[in-house]
Amino acid sequence: MTIAVPSDAAETNVDQMAVHLAADASGPIATRSVNAIATACAPIRHFPLAAPAR
């Protein structure tokens, strides 16, 4: 079984989004947003071919 692993660049992008959201909105909003991104990407982690081709 193939499991997709996020690239370092993807991890950095999510971290940067969280920092900007925390600065512009609040820490709890940043946390909820990052958690929502992680939840949305979870199925692709286990079924990487289910994602649309880029």
| pLDDT tens-digit series, residues 22-53 | 999 999 999 999 999 889 888 888 888 877 77
Residue numbers of the domain that contains 20: 8-44
Other beta carbons less than 10 A from residue 47's beta carbon: 13
Tokens representing 41? 């990407």
Total structural domains within the chain:
1
Q: What is the enclosing helix (H) or strand (E) of 34?
A: helix 27-46
pTM above 0.75, yes or no: no
Residue 49 lies in a domain: no
Residue 53 lies in a domain: no
1 pLDDT above the threshold of 70: no
Residue 29 lies in a domain: yes
Q: What 3-state DSSP class applies to 29?
A: helix
Residue 37 lies in a domain: yes
Sign of the torsion angle spanned by Cα atoms 37, 39, 45, 51? negative
Residue 2 lies in a domain: no
Instruction: Report CA 52 to chain centroid distance, whole Å.
Output: 16
Residue 15 lies in a domain: yes
